């Protein structure tokens, strides 16, 4: 019976691995909704987190996330965290979902929602558990810039955000050796939205990194294309036009 049990467990793990492969294959090729459905059907904290990631990728790829898609991603991430409160990807995907939801809110609405503080706390907790988590550092790099831009000096102080922290997180993300085009593109976009003239050289450097770093997924390729298009835009438009464009891009 022990032998039979061992065989059963081995087969079960093999099925889970194959399913996970199907999820990752669908995600890597840009079939995000298919990846989300496969992961959701399997269940469990890992798969709910993968489902949230795929739904958020679909939202980012669209360029204009719908409330319904973000709500769906948030729900999947919350299910992952409910099953495993310390699940790294579950917490990080929840942070991203909340952050994206706050983009369409006014500064006052964003503060009242508490999404900014919640997303910060989730990402910082992931870093505390895993100091080399490239995605958490990338998230916090952009989070700090966005809070500085939207909150000004007072809001930044209240939320504990600063450009020094943004730079530190970006550097730490690079030092992991795992930064992908998406991370460089998002950091460049956030800087451009904040002050295209002041951070001109940093923006150009990050855009170059986004275009030259190897893209291993369809989403990374899309981020490279956006970086390339934005680089051309930066070279032919005014500072105010650049900032307005960067503010609405993803």
* Residue 185 within any structural domain of the chain: yes
Average pLDDT in the 163-178 region?
97
Which pLDDT tens digit goes with each residue over 69-100?
Answer: 999 999 999 999 999 999 999 999 999 999 99
| Co-location of 200 and 90 in the same domain | no
Cβ atoms < 10 Å from Cβ of 239: 14
Query: What is the DSSP code string of 12-31?
Result: HHHHHHHHHHHHHHHHHTT-
Q: Is the pLDDT assigned to residue 106 strictly greater than 50? A: yes
Asked if residues 230 and 246 have their Cβ atoms less than 8 Å apart, the reply is: yes
* Residue 162 within any structural domain of the chain: yes
The pLDDT-based confidence of 20 (bands split at 50, 70, 90) is: low
| Co-location of 152 and 226 in the same domain | yes
| Co-location of 101 and 174 in the same domain | no
pLDDT at residue 11, as a whole number: 32
Containing domain of residue 50, as a range? 20-105
- What is the Cα–Cα distance from 81 to 40, expressed in whole angstroms? 14
pLDDT at residue 10, as a whole number: 33
Task: State the total domains in the chain.
Answer: 2
Asked if residues 186 and 206 have their Cβ atoms less than 8 Å apart, the reply is: no
Q: Is the pLDDT assigned to residue 48 strictly greater than 80? A: yes
| Co-location of 137 and 180 in the same domain | yes
* Residue 65 within any structural domain of the chain: yes
When mean pLDDT is compared across 16-20, 141-145, 207-211, the lowest value belongs to 16-20
User: What contacts 77, CB < 8 A, 6 or more positions away?
Assistant: 48, 49, 52, 90, 91, 93, 94, 97
| Co-location of 139 and 213 in the same domain | yes
Asked if residues 180 and 216 have their Cβ atoms less than 8 Å apart, the reply is: yes
| Co-location of 167 and 96 in the same domain | no
| Co-location of 246 and 156 in the same domain | yes
């Amino acid at each position: 019976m022990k032998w039979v049990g061992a065989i059963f467990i081995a087969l079960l793990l093999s099925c889970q691995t194959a399913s996970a492969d199907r999820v990752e294959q669908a995600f890597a090729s840009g079939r995000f909704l298919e990846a989300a459905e496969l992961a959701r059907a399997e269940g469990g904290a890992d798969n709910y987190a993968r489902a949230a990631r795929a739904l958020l990728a679909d939202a980012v790829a669209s360029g204009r996330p719908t409330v319904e898609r973000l709500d769906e991603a948030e729900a999947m991430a919350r299910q992952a965290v409910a099953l495993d409160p310390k699940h790294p990807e579950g917490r990080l995907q929840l942070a991203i979902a909340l952050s994206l939801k706050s983009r369409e809110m006014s500064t006052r609405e964003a503060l009242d929602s508490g999404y900014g503080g919640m997303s910060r706390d989730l990402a910082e907790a992931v870093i505390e558990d895993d100091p080399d988590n490239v995605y958490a550092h990338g998230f916090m790099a952009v989070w700090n810039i966005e809070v500085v831009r939207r909150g000004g000096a007072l809001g930044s102080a209240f939320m504990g955000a600063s450009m020094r922290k943004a730079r530190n997180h970006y550097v730490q993300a690079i030092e992991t050796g795992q930064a992908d085009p998406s991370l460089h593109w998002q950091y460049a976009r956030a800087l451009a939205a904040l002050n295209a003239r002041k951070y001109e050289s940093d923006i150009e450097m990050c855009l170059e990194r986004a275009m030259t770093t190897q893209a291993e997924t369809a989403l990374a390729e899309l981020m490279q294309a956006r970086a390339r298009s934005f680089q051309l835009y930066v070279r032919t438009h005014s500072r105010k036009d650049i900032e307005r464009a960067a503010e609405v891009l993803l």
